[in-house]
Amino acid sequence: MSLSSRRPEKARIIARSPEARQAAWQRAVADSIRDTSQLFDLLRLEPAGLAAATAAADRFACRLPRRLLDGIATGTAGDPVLRQFLPSGAELEAHEGYTTDPVGDLEAARAAGLLRKYAGRALLITTGACAVHCRYCFRRHFPYAEQHAGRDSWDGALDVLAHATEISEVILSGGDPLMLDDERLAELWRLLAAIPHIRRLRVHTRMPVVIPDRVTAGLLRLLAAPRFATSVVVHVNHSNELAEDAAAALQRLRRAGIGVLNQSVLLRGVNDDTETLCALSEELFAAGVLPYYLHQLDPVAGAAHFAVGEQEAVALVRAMRNRLPGYLVPRLVREVPGASAKEVLAG
């Protein structure tokens, strides 16, 4: 239908309506920074690094929500928040042992988007999309297009789950499952609710912290629904990520009765010192979140510059033990391809 055949004021309303229907969080996603030269401009970064950053972003796109800039120092490529999202020339280097599928995801894929590695739990890749692109992401080379259980292909994954009576917990992962809107999530909840042996749902997401508006009233109702014991595992690596609005979003989840845990990745130049790790634990707890895991970096191609050696990692977590109550010390873990659980190194 042609809009030009309508009266002008009506055409204007129609043209505006898809935008008006978008929730604030969806507008924040759409408005995120994807262009390296814009990022360099906004943060007044040294232009000499731009060509390499752009080449790195051609391999794995640059992406971060605009509000994160408020917590980043200008002119500082090494800022601990920015370092996680800034494409850099170091990603283009090849390193022995760093591969495109470091944790054996392709091996564990049993149906479209379903990963079964650990007893009693299955991980459902709900979408390939994320609101931020973390440069060290272990799925930066994962073939999402084939593997995520999208709207048309949940059937295969649900069918496997329905027959796997030993599975009592489904972990929604991605990508970021909270990139799906409340309606899609409600549909997924309804389909999972029909499988009686599934008792727990877990949502692995970075959204409450990177786009706090994502914690809508509708989402809280869904997560608090009594059919499942539901937990949310967020991903925060530095206390600078816990701005007031992010902490408030985490508090809303807690007040709705949802267990909120955090997993971090130990990253060179971001959180590789005791002081930073202790501050992170304390700020998380102030927002109602318990530290769960501190992951050793998975050796994914393009992320070698983030690696912290195992001895150093163990020493860092031991030092945390000397400074904090036990419940604020995360378990230092490593993913071992093919193993039946994550390997605990300390904590």
Ligand X SMILES: *Cc1c(COP(=O)(O)O)cnc(C)c1O
Phi, psi of 79 (to 5 degrees): -50, 135
Of the pair 150, 324, the CB lying nearest ligand SF4 is at 150
Q: How far apart are CA 81 and CA 305, in angstroms?
A: 15
Q: Can you tell me which of 109, 130, 284, 301 binds ligand SF4, judged by CB under 6 A?
A: 130
Instruction: From residue 84, give the alpha-carbon distance in Å to each of 72, 80, 233, 238.
Output: 11, 7, 19, 10
The answer to whether 117 contacts ligand X (rule: CB under 6 A) is yes
Q: Can you tell me which of 132, 223, 232, 316 binds ligand SF4, judged by CB under 6 A?
A: 132
| CA-wise closest residue to 60 among 88, 83, 33 | 88
Residues within window 156-185 making contact with ligand X, judged by CB under 6 A? 171
> How many other C-beta atoms can be found within 10 angstroms of the C-beta atom of residue 282?
14
Of the pair 174, 330, the CB lying nearest ligand SF4 is at 174
Q: Can you tell me which of 95, 121, 141, 334 binds ligand X, judged by CB under 6 A?
A: 121
301 interacts with, out of ligand X, ligand SF4, none, CB within 5 to 8 A per kind: none
The answer to whether 132 contacts ligand X (rule: CB under 6 A) is no
Using a 10 angstrom Cβ sphere, with 0-12 exposed, 13-18 middle and 19 or more buried, the burial of residue 214 is buried
Q: Can you tell me which of 53, 123, 249, 320 binds ligand X, judged by CB under 6 A?
A: 123
Q: Can you tell me which of 118, 269, 274, 282 binds ligand X, judged by CB under 6 A?
A: 118
The answer to whether 200 contacts ligand X (rule: CB under 6 A) is no
The answer to whether 137 contacts ligand SF4 (rule: CB under 6 A) is yes
Residues 6+ apart with CB under 8 A from 250: 208, 209, 234, 242, 260, 287, 288, 289
Q: Taking the complex as a whole, how short is the minimal distance between the CB of residue 259 and ligand SF4, in angstroms?
A: 19
Instruction: From residue 278, give the alpha-carbon distance in Å to each of 237, 244, 265, 296, 325.
Output: 11, 19, 14, 17, 10
Q: Which helix (H) or strand (E) holds 344?
A: strand 343-346
Question: By rule CB under 6 A, what count of residues binds ligand X?
Answer: 7
The residues binding ligand SF4 (CB under 6 A) are 130, 132-134, 137, 139, 174-176, 206, 235
**Binding residues vs ligand X (CB under 6 A):** 115, 117-118, 121, 123, 171, 342
